[in-house]
Structure 1
């Protein structure tokens, strides 16, 4: 996929990740810490994580196509491309946490759960993966904006 309605596909697809990754991460943390939220949103969180995993290679592929069309590969553009490769790891991490939440939910429906080691482990994992995914998307996006628009990092 290279263009959508005449626009570079990467430009449009990346906005999906910019919205879905923080949303999914926040919902995962909420579900991990609050059983009532887990009962309501666990399947939505799993569907969002699957969507992110599907959207990531499409976005990276469209970015590689766009990168190939650039005549000059400035260092900031190279950094953005390198950071863009990180996204698959964040997508897999979000999916694994979502699966863990679904398993946790399934176990709770079989036997009312107390605060178990699984609950604590999933909560810690959700926070760590969620924060790292959001920070990662911000870093990737910042270098992309800097490469395209010449935004200078403050400091």
Structure 2
């Protein structure tokens, strides 16, 4: 796949590189600052969905690029392995984000009473909060490692 005569993969990955840290940052913020959950819920879901789409598009454009240049497969192997981990990590991250968006409580404009909160069992809330933060950090680290492996292929 090409865009204006250039391989699409190096162009597409920049969308993922921008959206992943935003999605990860919003999800970590959503997890640790309960009083802002009402305002950060949908931006977190939106940026996470955008990051997932960008990673999927980058992953499949990378596979397409490799099919067009099979002689590069031995040197691309480390980047390809990290990209596969990032691909699945992003899918799982999106699942955790969706579950957290609906299961984590916080102040709500729809809850009646002053300071009212939607709540679930503390074990569920703490588990989801920890998972959001862990997956956010893992996603940023894996993005960095995958990008570093790809950059080393191009720039040596």
TM-score range, shorter chain: 0.7 to 0.9
Structure 2 CA distance, aligned partners of 1:142 and 1:23? Answer: 19
Q: Which residues of structure 2 form unaligned runs of 5+?
A: none
Q: Secondary structure, in 3 states, of the residue corresponding to 1:56?
A: helix
Number of aligned positions between the proteins: 149
Q: Where does residue 54 of structure 1 map in the other structure?
A: 53
Structure 1 CA distance, aligned partners of 2:140 and 2:66? Answer: 24
The answer to whether structure 1 residue 70 and structure 2 residue 30 are counterparts is: no
Equivalent position to 1:128, from 120, 124, 134? 134
Call closer, same or farther: CA 1:108–1:121 in 2, change over 3 Å: farther
Q: Where does residue 78 of structure 2 map in the other structure?
A: 79
- TM-score normalised by length of structure 2: 0.83
Choose 70-79 or 139-148, whichever is displaced more: 70-79
Q: Deviation at 1:113?
A: 4.4
- TM-score normalised by length of structure 1: 0.83
Q: Secondary structure, in 3 states, of the residue corresponding to 1:85?
A: helix
Does the 8 Å contact 1:42/1:98 carry over to 2? no
Call closer, same or farther: CA 1:12–1:40 in 2, change over 3 Å: same
Matches within 5 A, 1:1-155: 2-70=1-69, 72-73=71-72, 75-105=74-104, 109=108, 112-113=117-118, 116-150=122-156
Does the 8 Å contact 1:80/1:144 carry over to 2? yes
Q: Secondary structure, in 3 states, of the residue corresponding to 1:117?
A: helix
Q: Which residues of structure 1 form unaligned runs of 5+?
A: 151-155
The two structures, once aligned, show a CA RMSD in angstroms of 2.2
Choose 21-30 or 97-106, whichever is displaced more: 97-106
